[in-house]
Chain A
């Protein structure tokens, strides 16, 4: 019984790692650097506040992942020796616009009510926020602090997952572009660009934006589109920023990461006006960044479903094929490793993911 995982980004590798932990045989087939690869260009947040403000099942699923994250990071460290710099001391969202603050706070209040109070966050006006984060500038009208949020070094996470998968006996085939997938009930044959064929009894389609192409053959819609995000990073600075935010965080290596913009395009190149907006916002929030040097900028492509929520879909054509995609693969990595394997293996302990199926797009 071999499960083929198509795609070795953070989603495919998290699932593969979880399957291996349950004793499954796994082969991960991953393409090349010419593919769009969100796992290599993201912001590294394990972020909960505001997620699923209009979709409580998504908020709950994200939170279940956040709760598993500490153990997930610890397991990866024990398995690989790699410290992925995970921290979950809470996060702060900063606002320079009072209406935006009120709107986000109302969304969080709605979730808190929905979860009978079990959704911790606090709205802080400027002076109280300044006690918590003394570096904020005068343009910051307030913020929202939530102990649920955290962040991680996403490249170390990817590396740790890839090392762990191989150490646990998983096969990781890189530079391997899939050109054809022939499906059947519990019988899959994947053909690579090189002509090589790989066979398995189950299949997980987790190829990010590459999944769209193979959906139809396997009985999925796989409606994913690219959404561009641009990111800036500064020179390394002494640590001053304790809490990450959705748009500014100081990474464990000292640089301050600023971003990410959102644009409905599949172009993965940066443009100056977007980068200027990001920099201006960062300086508004933290004036001390004004004279700090930027050392890198990049654009990467998010993997977006029509409603922005994850898709977990069993094939409507063949037994044993699953499609997995999401727009927050870092946040959900712990759930993908800890909870999805039961669903993929059709165990009765599987989480109920029916609300995340593709049928929601066809009503």
Chain B
């Protein structure tokens, strides 16, 4: 769905989104890396369960949230890195009582 405007450099990094192994150009944000891989809905909202993906891509709307090392961050404000483990926010450790 999204194609890079400029030719892709050879510097690619490898990262993971949930169980998927993905690659992206060095310097990309997690948001553009995921969009480039065809992933548009990054999470479901915690209250109504509606799907959400990046909207503003400039740090204002907070719709692009993902979980990295157990902390919720804005995917559009986070550079992708080699070996980065990105998870859906809703897929954080949920214990038997349903708490995060």
Contacts and interface: CB of A to CB of B under 8 A. Distances in A.
Interface of A: 134-135, 235-240, 253-254, 288, 291-293, 295
A237 B71 contact: no
Nearest to B99: A240
Interface of B: 45-47, 62, 65, 70-72, 90, 94-95, 97-100
Contacts of B72: 235, 292-293
Contacts of A239: 46-47, 98
Contacts of A253: 47
B71 A288 contact: no
A252 B57 CA distance: 28
Given A253-B47, A254-B46, A254-B47, A240 B97 contact: yes
A235 B71 CA distance: 11
Contacts of B71: 291, 293
Contacts of B99: 134-135, 238, 240, 288
12 contacts: A134-B97, A236-B46, A236-B47, A237-B46, A240-B99, A254-B46, A254-B47, A288-B100, A291-B70, A292-B72, A292-B100, A295-B62
B87 to A, nearest CB: 12
A-side binding surface: helix, strand, loop or mixed? loop
A237 B45 CA distance: 9
Nearest to A235: B72
Given A240-B100, A288-B95, A292-B72, 11 more contacts: A135-B97, A235-B72, A236-B45, A238-B90, A238-B98, A239-B46, A239-B47, A240-B97, A254-B46, A288-B99, A291-B70
A239 B98 CA distance: 8
User: Can you list the 9 inter-chain pairs with the closest CB atoms, starting with the nearest?
Assistant: A240-B99, A254-B47, A238-B46, A291-B70, A134-B97, A236-B46, A254-B46, A293-B72, A135-B99
A235 B73 CA distance: 10
B6 to A, nearest CB: 33
Nearest to B49: A238
A288 B98 CA distance: 11
Given A291-B71, A292-B72, A237 B100 contact: yes
Contacts of A254: 45-47
A167 B95 CA distance: 47
Contacts of A240: 97-100
A264 B98 CA distance: 40
A217 to B, nearest CB: 47
Contacts of B90: 238
A212 to B, nearest CB: 40
Which of B70, B71, B72, B95 has the most C-beta atoms of chain A within 10 angstroms of its own C-beta?
B72
A237 B99 CA distance: 9
A135 B46 CA distance: 18
Contacts of B47: 236, 238-239, 253-254
Contacts of A291: 70-71
A134 to B, nearest CB: 5
A134 B47 CA distance: 21
A238 B97 contact: no
A295 B74 CA distance: 12
A293 to B, nearest CB: 5
Contacts of A295: 62
Which of B47, B71, B94 has the most C-beta atoms of chain A within 10 angstroms of its own C-beta?
B47
Contacts of B100: 237-238, 240, 288, 292
B95 to A, nearest CB: 8
Nearest to B48: A254
A238 B95 CA distance: 12
Nearest to A254: B47
A291 B90 CA distance: 14
